A and B are shown apart, each in its own frame.
Chain A
Amino acid sequence: MSSQKEVFAQVVSLLKPFVKSPEALSNVTMETSILKDLKVNSARLVDVVLEIEDTFGIAVKDDDADKVKTVGDAVNLILAAKG
């Protein structure tokens, strides 16, 4: 079972290709906003969710995906899905 720290590291890593300014990733925390702080293009959130599904082998419902705003939201979603 993955720890929060491991999942956090993996989430940051999979976000990397979608983040416009690499500097934003250097200070990322659980509270970092994916849209506002990391400036990920909102049109690409669909792809971030697909990456999460593929990386962690989980299925994310559309409603749950909509609630993910911060890196921490994504981490917690994954931890909950993996039980």
Chain B
Amino acid sequence: MASESRVVVTGLGVLAPNAHGTLDFERALREGRSGIRFHQELRDTHFACQVGGIPENVETIQREYLADEELYGMNANMIYAAIAAIDAWKDAGLERLPPESDAVDWDAGAVLGTGIGGMDTIATTLVPKTDAGRVNRLGSAMVEQVMSSGNSARVAGLLGLGNQVTTNSSACNTGTEAVIEAFLRIREGRAQRMIAGGSEGHSKYIWAGFDAMKVLNRTSNEDPTRASRPMSASAAGFIPGSGAGVLLLESLQSAAARGARIYAEVLGGCVNCGGHRMGGSMTAPNPTGVQRCIRGAVAMAGVSPGDIDVINGHLTATFADPREVSSWSRALDLPPERMPLLQSTKSLIGHALGAAGGIECVASVLELKQGFVHGSANCEDVHPDLTEFASRIVHTTVDMPEIEIIAKASFGFGDVNGCVIFRKFSD
């Protein structure tokens, strides 16, 4: 293909702590429904933060998607990924052909990332049995569950994908990076359809490391739905989450040829790193790197900063929130009063780690298509360093039929950044 393809979003799939499926997720976002709950297991094992976000009713839901034979050898990360990917595929109007059909879609692939992966399998099965000298009791499905690429590999088989299939990993930026990588692949003509997003299982073994770093909020165990407080004065760390968010990205030609419903267009994206310098570190972003990333995405998208209607931020409820907003303001060269509206989906679902960018991109695209901006919960007490931006923070959901452009970004451990620009589709 000589010239670059335009890339559009034709399918969405989401399994979040507060909802399953786009209809339910949209309702949850509009209502400000929180998916954060208290978990006894965390109290029993002396976690400081005893609340978190885990998708509900999955044992029932999974049986609608996966046969027993398929479920065997699938852990939480893989099951979440599969449900969201199948949803996105079918939402795009694509058929899920049975394995016997021998049909491989050579033009469809997946960039489906995860931050940690098969930790539950490793911790509860692999390590104990191996250390007990019972390797022969592990069964045949260990490798596919603990390998980092387990989620994308499993989805490939469920959907008959024949293009690139990979699991990217860039911590909190995983899902957003996946969308950008898939977008670039289609744009370049190397694929026509890509499953793009991220998944993350729930496991106290994943959450333990964050609790140990004291970056989780331990002050709201009695009040789970108010525990995730991005941009608030009482923010005291993030709340761990899990689930999966998947976009079906497609070339405009492919979408038009089959008359697909188009949610939005991906105009541009940028991924970079801050090099752990100039204020950056393994766990804190280099503001210069962040601003370069935002500017890069905006430049590629060919939009003017003033045209951006909403920022769906990384905004996790750590000390980094005010610095993030300040970086947005500098990067877009917009004073507080002219900044886009600000929201954090994490206020409702927590920080879903490898799945975060995926779920939050789904939220952003839904808002564009349905013309609303969901309230960013739990920041009635706006952080003092964000006073100038207070009027831009959306506290309760507003209808906004004229919404045109959303900027979505993630800034992850490792000082890695990703920013993608979505626009309402027009021919």
Query: Is residue B46 contacting chain A, with contact meaning CB distance below 8 A?
Result: no
> Do B72 and A17 touch (CB < 8 A)?
yes
> Do B69 and A20 touch (CB < 8 A)?
yes
Q: How far is the CA of A16 from the CA of B69 in the complex (A)?
A: 9
Query: Which residue of B67, B99, B137, B140 is within 8 Å of A44 (Cβ)?
Result: B140
Q: How far is the CA of A41 from the CA of B141 in the complex (A)?
A: 12
CB distance from B136 to the nearest CB of A (A): 8
> Do A47 and B69 touch (CB < 8 A)?
no
Q: How far is the CA of A57 from the CA of B147 in the complex (A)?
A: 31
Q: How far is the CA of A20 from the CA of B99 in the complex (A)?
A: 10
- Chain B residues contacting A16 (CB-CB under 8 Å) are 68
- Chain A residues contacting B72 (CB-CB under 8 Å) are 17-18, 44, 47
CB distance from B78 to the nearest CB of A (A): 16
CB distance from B207 to the nearest CB of A (A): 30
CB distance from A77 to the nearest CB of B (A): 17
CB distance from A8 to the nearest CB of B (A): 21
**Binary contact readout A47-66 vs B (1 if CB under 8 angstroms, 0 otherwise):** 10010000000000000000
> Do A50 and B69 touch (CB < 8 A)?
no
CB distance from A62 to the nearest CB of B (A): 8
- Chain A residues contacting B137 (CB-CB under 8 Å) are 50
Query: Is residue A80 contacting chain B, with contact meaning CB distance below 8 A?
Result: no
Query: Which residue of A17, A19, A20, A46 is within 8 Å of B140 (Cβ)?
Result: A46
**Binary contact readout A17-29 vs B (1 if CB under 8 angstroms, 0 otherwise):** 1111000000000
Query: Is residue B259 contacting chain A, with contact meaning CB distance below 8 A?
Result: no
Query: Is residue A1 contacting chain B, with contact meaning CB distance below 8 A?
Result: no
- Chain B residues contacting A50 (CB-CB under 8 Å) are 137, 139
CB proximity to A under 8 Å, residues B40-85:
67-69, 72
| CB closest residue in chain B, given A59 | B136
Q: How far is the CA of A20 from the CA of B67 in the complex (A)?
A: 8
Q: How far is the CA of A44 from the CA of B71 in the complex (A)?
A: 13
Q: How far is the CA of A44 from the CA of B40 in the complex (A)?
A: 35
CB distance from B183 to the nearest CB of A (A): 35
CB distance from B389 to the nearest CB of A (A): 55
CB distance from B413 to the nearest CB of A (A): 35
Query: Which residue of A20, A41, A47 is within 8 Å of B139 (Cβ)?
Result: A47
> Do A18 and B69 touch (CB < 8 A)?
yes
- Chain A residues contacting B68 (CB-CB under 8 Å) are 16-17
| CB closest residue in chain B, given A53 | B137
Q: How far is the CA of A43 from the CA of B73 in the complex (A)?
A: 11
> Do A46 and B139 touch (CB < 8 A)?
yes
Q: How far is the CA of A25 from the CA of B99 in the complex (A)?
A: 19
- Chain B residues contacting A46 (CB-CB under 8 Å) are 139-140
- Chain A residues contacting B141 (CB-CB under 8 Å) are 44, 47
| CB closest residue in chain B, given A19 | B69
CB distance from B121 to the nearest CB of A (A): 14
| CB closest residue in chain A, given B68 | A17
- Chain A residues contacting B69 (CB-CB under 8 Å) are 17-20, 41
- Chain B residues contacting A47 (CB-CB under 8 Å) are 72, 139-141
CB distance from B386 to the nearest CB of A (A): 53
- Chain B residues contacting A18 (CB-CB under 8 Å) are 69, 72
Q: How far is the CA of A57 from the CA of B75 in the complex (A)?
A: 27
- Chain B residues contacting A41 (CB-CB under 8 Å) are 69
Q: How far is the CA of A46 from the CA of B144 in the complex (A)?
A: 15
Q: How far is the CA of A45 from the CA of B141 in the complex (A)?
A: 11
CB distance from A83 to the nearest CB of B (A): 23
CB distance from B69 to the nearest CB of A (A): 6
Q: How far is the CA of A7 from the CA of B171 in the complex (A)?
A: 50
Q: How far is the CA of A47 from the CA of B67 in the complex (A)?
A: 17
Q: How far is the CA of A45 from the CA of B139 in the complex (A)?
A: 9
Q: How far is the CA of A46 from the CA of B139 in the complex (A)?
A: 6
- Chain A residues contacting B140 (CB-CB under 8 Å) are 43-47
CB distance from A36 to the nearest CB of B (A): 15
Q: How far is the CA of A41 from the CA of B68 in the complex (A)?
A: 13
- Chain B residues contacting A43 (CB-CB under 8 Å) are 140
CB proximity to A under 8 Å, residues B115-161:
137, 139-141
Interchain Cβ contacts under 8 Å between A and B, 22 examples: A17-B68, A17-B69, A17-B72, A18-B69, A18-B72, A19-B69, A20-B67, A20-B69, A20-B99, A41-B69, A43-B140, A44-B72, A44-B140, A44-B141, A46-B139, A46-B140, A47-B72, A47-B139, A47-B140, A47-B141, A50-B137, A50-B139
Q: A17-B72, A41-B69, A47-B139 are in contact. List 10 more A-B contacts (CB 8 A).
A: A16-B68, A17-B68, A17-B69, A18-B72, A19-B69, A20-B67, A20-B69, A44-B72, A47-B72, A50-B139
> Closest 3 CB pairs between A and B?
A46-B140, A17-B68, A47-B139
